[in-house]
């Protein structure tokens, strides 16, 4: 279990998250939603131990994140940042292999190569394993990074907008894999998503960070409230139920 207690996060003097308390369970897929600037990415980085909290604490299975436990903490977590670079000349295989960075030597051991190759094959990437990332589609690239993240054998998965650059089909393919592996490996999984309907379809739970630094936490049906969305996002929405009984958000326009 990953717990956040009274967590306050800031960029310099600007607070983005204030006195937040949450807990994330094993095998549960949490979608982190909210408007731009609400602190979703910052929270994710803080959970990975890459952004120092102004106050409050973070615990993984009861162990606190401290400067002393930082290394061990990060080795238990896979964090997939947002796409942030133009050219990447490494091949898919080399990229996935980096997932076991600590065990790589100048001559890569056979079993490390095998682990990486199996990971690539699992996502149907064996064919393109030696193409450079620059030559891959956005969807393939995200799958490569996801395979890399999994190679670390993490207890916690933190994915920052993994599908925002993907087409509809690849959004669903990737999220299918995320949910399946979250269950299979009983990983704590937190995914930042912008598409609320995608969040409804895949997440067990929604955590919505609001610009006023409050947070709404609950099942999709609880969080996706028409009035709440209107207030938080500044949009005019209709929330209805689709044929499967899932809430369905229809945005009719921005409120001025």
Partner 1 sequence: MTNPAVDLVIAMHRRIERRRMVALLGLLLLLGGLMVLDIATGPALLPISDVLATLAGPAEADMTLRAIVWDLRLPMALMALTVGVALGTSGATMQTLLDNPLASPYTLGLAAAAGFGAALCIQNGGWGLNPSFIVPFCAFVMACLAAATIYGVGNIRGMGTDTMVLAGIALLFMFHSLQSLLQFRATPEVGQQIVFWLFGSLAKATWTSVQITALACLIAVPLLMREAWKMTALRLGEQRARALGVNIVWLRFVTIALISFMTATAISFVGTIGFIGLVAPHLSRLLVGEDQRFLLPLSGLVGALLLSAASVISKILMPGVLVPVGIVTAVVGVPFFMHLILSRRRLAL
Do β-strands 156-160 and 77-80 pair in parallel, antiparallel, or remain unpaired? parallel
Alpha helix positions (H), the chain? 40-48, 70-75, 92-97, 110-122, 138-151, 168-184, 196-202, 220-223, 226-233
Report, in Å, the least distance between residue 235 CB and partner 1: 30
Q: Which CB, 50 or 225, lies closer to partner 1?
A: 50
Q: Which CB, 33 or 93, lies closer to partner 1?
A: 93
Here's the x/- map for partner 1, 44-83, by CB under 8 A: it reads as ----x-x--------------------x--xx--xxxx--
Give residues with Cβ within 8 angstroms of 182, minimum separation 6. 27, 28, 29, 157, 189
Whether the Cβ atoms of residue 230 and residue 255 lie closer than 8 Å to each other: yes
d(CA 39, CA 27): 24
Report, in Å, the least distance between residue 119 CB and partner 1: 10
Q: For residues 21-30, b (16+ Cβ closer than 10 Å) or e, as one string? A: ebebeeebbb
d(CA 247, CA 92): 38
Q: Is residue 101 at the binding interface for partner 1, with CB under 8 A as the rule?
A: yes
Q: Is residue 221 at the binding interface for partner 1, with CB under 8 A as the rule?
A: no
- The residue from 8, 15, 35, 88 that contacts partner 1 (CB under 8 A) is 88
- The residue from 24, 123, 145, 146 that contacts partner 1 (CB under 8 A) is 145
Do β-strands 188-192 and 156-160 pair in parallel, antiparallel, or remain unpaired? parallel
d(CA 123, CA 37): 33
Report, in Å, the least distance between residue 58 CB and partner 1: 17
Q: Which CB, 144 or 249, lies closer to partner 1?
A: 144
Number of residues that bind partner 1 (CB under 8 A): 41
**For residues 112-141, which are near partner 1 according to CB under 8 A?**
113-114, 116-118, 120-121, 126, 129-130, 132
Report, in Å, the least distance between residue 117 CB and partner 1: 4
**Binding residues for partner 1 (CB under 8 A):** 48, 50, 71, 74-75, 78-81, 84-85, 88-91, 93-95, 98-99, 101-102, 104, 106, 108, 110, 113-114, 116-118, 120-121, 126, 129-130, 132, 145, 148-149, 152
């Amino acid at each position: 279990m990953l717990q956040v207690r009274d967590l306050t996060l800031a960029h310099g003097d600007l607070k983005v998250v204030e006195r937040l308390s949450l807990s994330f369970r094993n095998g549960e897929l949490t979608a982190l939603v909210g408007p731009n600037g609400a602190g979703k990415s910052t929270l994710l980085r803080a959970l990975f131990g890459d952004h120092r909290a102004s106050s409050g604490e973070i615990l993984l299975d009861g162990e606190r994140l401290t400067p002393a436990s930082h290394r061990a903490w990060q080795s238990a977590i896979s964090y997939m940042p947002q796409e942030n670079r133009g050219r990447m000349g490494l091949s898919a295989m080399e990229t996935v292999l980096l997932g076991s960075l600590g065990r790589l030597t100048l001559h890569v051991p056979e079993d490390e190569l095998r682990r990486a190759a199996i990971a690539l094959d699992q996502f149907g990437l064996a064919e393109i394993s030696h193409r450079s990332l620059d030559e891959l589609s956005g969807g393939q690239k995200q799958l490569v990074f996801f395979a890399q993240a999994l190679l670390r054998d993490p207890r916690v998965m933190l994915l920052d907008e993994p599908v925002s650059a993907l087409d509809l089909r690849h959004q669903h393919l990737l999220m299918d894999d995320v949910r399946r592996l979250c269950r299979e490996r009983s990983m704590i999984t937190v995914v930042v998503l912008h598409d609320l309907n995608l969040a409804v379809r895949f997440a067990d739970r929604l955590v919505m960070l609001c610009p006023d630094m409050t947070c709404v936490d609950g099942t999709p049906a609880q969080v996706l409230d028409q009035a709440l969305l209107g207030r938080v996002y500044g949009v005019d929405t209709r929330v209805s139920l689709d044929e499967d009984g899932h809430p369905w958000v229809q945005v009719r326009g921005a409120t001025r």
